[in-house]
Amino acid sequence: MDAKTKYKAKKIKIVFFDIDDTLRAKATDYMPDSVKLAFADLKAKGILTGIASGRGLYGVVPEIRDLNPDYFVTINGAYVIDKKGDEIFNEPLDPEVAKSYVAWAKEQGIAYGFAGKDKPVVSERSQLIDDAVVPVYGVCEVDPDFHLSHDVYHMWTFAENNAELVLPESLSDQIRLVPWHEHSSDVVKTGISKASGVEAVLKRENLKPINAMMFGDGPNDMEIFDYVGLKIAMGNAVPEIKAKSDYVTDTVEGDGIFNALEKLGMVEKQLNFPQLNLAETEGPVATIKTNHGDLVIKLFPDHAPLTVKNFVDLAESGYYDGVIFHRIIKDFMIQGGDPTGTGMGGESSFGGSFQDEFSDELYNLRGALSMANAGPNTNGSQFFIVQNANMPYSAKELTRGGWPEEIAKSYAENGGTPHLDRRHTVFGQLVDDASYKVLDAIAAVETGAQDKPVEDVIIETVEVSD
């Protein structure tokens, strides 16, 4: 994401979202939990939110309503309300236009439908119509003459050859076709779009287009992308939308909305710290059996997949069997994994060295299993376990330095080596008191030149279990 896009984000006061394939996956109804987090964070920062959809309000599913947006721009902008249900904009079609459209649809031999303020109706029931509207509105009432007694906000075409339909000149200056399904288009009043609905909201809030942002993916987002100051296309968006966007984010399933907002600095990533919640963290367990006792360690493959694979593969091949802890510094760490016992040897299971895997959720806390290296991206077979229990810094000082509060508290209370964070890959954590006692016992052994134990501290073997 470039600096220009991030600068635009600083002016944003309201964010609008399409629904289908933006907030939730249309085919599966999946909406990630990260969407709820995004709305909550935006609200906490005083940024307004709005739904901008081709759907009528009756087609907005409960989980979207539960996001409690400040505004609903519905029926392609023809009907807009605030979160209290008060009308902001209400612009139905001219009844004569609706009559002319129905006459044309009958001439073409195609089915049609209407979006009223309170319900949708269709001219007939068929599989073709159900395939289009049921996923959005459920089974719709049949009422081909609905337009004669109700306000209509937009209409639909339903046809096998939908992409080939062209409105006659007598209607094309009053309504337009906006495709949204293989067999259906929205029939929208000229001058009305989601952009005009957003404009009504901005006037209500005394905001300018430069203060508005939109997430979208489809053709009915085109006008709004031309209108707002910052536009984000979903990863699954049509090419035309991507071309108009300031940034293309991930798909719904890939947490596209949250990821984009985080990169823009508009929401904060929700961090989980597995070292502080070992009982709830899934992952293999490695037991380093030494001549001083066992060190039992939970590994974190979700955070450091290459590093964990390297360690597990080496362990299961017997690579570490009989290897010593060649460098031990009390109140710092114990280091091993070099079959030469010199600190100068060893290689990864991949051959040679491999890259660092730093995570915002893993730290060199007391008991952390971390990779030794000779500089950036030089990981091989050597590792160390942090033993230091004495921390000269308070939690407040560490937090001021940029460490998360929970991690800063753990450092202050239990110890660790924060100066090694983002310099050495953390990939595991001791799991029990017995292991810490073994760690401290090893750290207390007598050492000689180059911090090498006088009597060998030997890794007898490393066992890994799921």
Chain-wide mean pLDDT for the chain?
A: 95
| Measured distance CA(80)–CA(75) in Å, rounded | 8
pTM value is 0.65
DSSP state string for 158-221: E-TTGGG----HHHHTTEEEEEEETTEEEEEETT-SHHHHHHHHHHHHT--GGGEEEEE-SGGG
What is the band of 342 on the pLDDT scale with cuts at 50, 70, 90?
Answer: very high
Q: Using alpha carbons only, what angle is made at residue 452 by residues 447 and 458, rounded to the nearest 5 degrees? A: 100
pLDDT digits (tens, 9 = 90+) for 212-264: 999 999 988 999 999 999 999 999 999 999 999 999 999 999 999 999 999 99
Q: Which residues contact 164 (CB under 8 A, 6 or more apart)?
A: none
Question: What is the pLDDT at residue 312?
Answer: 98
27 pLDDT exceeds 90?
A: no
> Cβ(427)–Cβ(304) under 8 Å?
yes
> Cβ(73)–Cβ(88) under 8 Å?
no
Q: Find the range with the poorest average confidence among 261-275, 300-314, 366-380.
A: 261-275
**188: three-class secondary structure by DSSP:** strand
309 pLDDT exceeds 90?
A: yes
**20: three-class secondary structure by DSSP:** strand
Catalytic residue numbers, as ranges: 18
Q: Using alpha carbons only, what angle is made at residue 319 by residues 318 and 322, rounded to the nearest 5 degrees? A: 85
268 pLDDT exceeds 90?
A: no
Domains of the chain plus CATH, in order, are: 3-91+192-263 (3.40.50.1000), 95-189 (3.30.1240.10), 274-465 (2.40.100.10)
> Cβ(310)–Cβ(353) under 8 Å?
no
pLDDT digits (tens, 9 = 90+) for 76-93: 999 999 999 999 999 999
Question: What is the pLDDT at residue 269?
Answer: 79
Question: What is the pLDDT at residue 283?
Answer: 94
